Amino acid sequence: MEGGVFLDNFLLILELIGTVSFAVSGGMVAIHKKTDIFGVLLLAAVTAVGGGITRDVILGKTPPTAFINKNYVLIALATAFVLFFIAKTNQKKYQQYEMQIFIINNIFDAIGLGIFTVVGVQVGQQAEQGENLFFCLFLGVVTAIGGGMIRDLMLKEVPFVLEKQVYAVACLLGGASYWYLTKFSALEIDVISVISIIVVFTIRMLATKYEWNLPKAIE
């Protein structure tokens, strides 16, 4: 029983960290695009909860959690507001250190990507089709990259998975780690979660650092 409570709390803490990470990442993109404060708040919220809403609609879990439990949206908005305030009161420094900020943004995005992949696969496992690896991976990827894709569509960017495809590959590998470890290892769920998040995070960071590219048909 207590294990269950702890698991729930652990998942909750992960979701909080993921929400803050994606809100920072979405808000930074919005500030870079020079949207106003409403744009910063909106894009932070969309990036943070967009993937989960898409997943819930696909699962038929309606209304989606993010529409009923306001905590996720409020945390994303509060994060974006603090970010906006810092950027506004330190405009020169913010622009001067934009390259460093981009790197920090990348780290937050990689953390969110790992956490939401694990959350998505977990939600899939608890659904009727939980035995279906394909289905669970699908939900993991949608949860992890859905919010960023909606943000990019709203900003008229080519959605990032098409340009930084390692994103989705990282989610697939991390999601598969999670699924196989929960099925075939004796490790505890929270240990498995942390391992899988690290898998996603590491692939994503290494790919950015070494500019990994996949082959093209026509060069």
Interacting residues with its own copies (CB under 8 A): 31, 34-40, 42-43, 53, 57-60, 62-64, 67-68, 70, 73, 84, 87-88, 91, 94-95, 127, 129, 132, 134-135, 138-139, 153-159, 161-162, 165, 168-169, 213-219
Which whole-number Å values give the CA distances from 150 to 4, 8, 25, 26, 40, in the listed order? 33, 28, 13, 11, 14
Q: How far is the CB of 3 from its own copies (least distance, A)?
A: 28
Q: How far is the CB of 13 from its own copies (least distance, A)?
A: 22
Which whole-number Å values give the CA distances from 158 to 146, 149, 162, in the listed order? 14, 9, 7
Closest CB to its own copies among 29 and 192?
A: 29
Closest CB to its own copies among 6 and 67?
A: 67
Closest CB to its own copies among 53 and 113?
A: 53
Q: How far is the CB of 36 from its own copies (least distance, A)?
A: 4
Closest CB to its own copies among 7 and 37?
A: 37
Which whole-number Å values give the CA distances from 15 to 11, 131, 155, 183, 218, in the listed order? 6, 23, 25, 22, 41
Q: How far is the CB of 186 from its own copies (least distance, A)?
A: 28
Report helix, strand or coil for 214: coil
Rg (C-alpha) for the chain, rounded Å, is 17
Closest CB to its own copies among 143 and 192?
A: 143
* Contact indicator for 121, 33 with CB cutoff of 8 Å: no
Q: How far is the CB of 76 from its own copies (least distance, A)?
A: 13
Straight-line distance from the first to the last Cα atom of the chain, in angstroms, rounded to the nearest whole number: 57
